[in-house]
Amino acid sequence: MKRFDGKVVLVTGASLGIGRGIALCLAEEGANVMVNYRSHRDEAEAVVTAIEEMGGQALSWQADVSDRDAVEAMIKEVVQHFGRLDVVVANAAHSTREPILEAKWENIQSTVNVTQFGVFHTCQLAAQQMAKQSLNGRSRGKIVIISSIHEEMGFPLSSGYNMSKAAINHLARTMAAELAQLRINVNVVNPGWIDTPGERQYFSEEEIQAAGKRIPWGRIGVPDDIGKAVAYLASDDADYATGSVLRVDGGFMVGLSLPEGD
């Protein structure tokens, strides 16, 4: 028996990159998946097709997670279509890279609206649904937030993104404390540098490969690395884990060193 047989999963921002990797990883273990997307419809449908080819059930749904009403409608559709909601993975994020002295307020707002408030909408509304449900296995539901090592380190050019990621980690701790008695687990994954289409807007293939060699594990991460971490936290194997932050970065943070002197 697979760990997610009969379980219903919603993954936000699941058409590309990390979200796509998570959706496919959970589907491989038997999950029925709602594939959320904002603008990449064709890519989302491709994820649905891939899940169906595995023998699973999947549905794509367009929603901007910064729109609370849209998130509420999406969760209602999950329940109407699949009958319940067992796992939500709050993955959708947005970032505009700018120096702090030149950052445009509208770009900061759009980053925070998706990366912080979008996670709040997704997690709160999902938790409200899960609280109504009977136990399925050992829990009423699992919430996994995809944050970042940007929560731990103030990477330049990412002020709005950095502060949003720090905020959602503390949100997770707060929700975990409040929801434990309801048997709803809330945990976080902090990915390191992951090879996604978004990264390729800023770096060439040669730069990405060269950077990967400087990471202690010797390579840049891939979406499946995060998918496997989420699969653990979303499963009954992590029944006693809540309020935890799992860093998946190939040793990036522990391998940081000071510049060499002259």
Q: Does residue 161 carry a catalytic annotation?
A: yes
End-to-end CA, the chain: 59
SS3 (DSSP) at 87: strand
Say if residues 223 and 43 touch (Cβ distance below 8 Å). no
Say if residues 115 and 93 touch (Cβ distance below 8 Å). yes
Considering the candidates 161, 202, 232, 240, report the single residue annotated as catalytic: 161
Label residues 192-205 b or e (16+ Cβ within 10 Å = b). Answer: bbbbbeeeeeeeee
Q: Which helix (H) or strand (E) holds 2?
A: none
**DSSP conformation class of 221:** B
Please state, in angstroms and rounded to a whole number, the distance separating the CA atoms of residues 13 and 89: 9
Of 191, 194, 185, whose CA–CA distance to 238 is shortest? 185
The catalytic site residues sit at 161
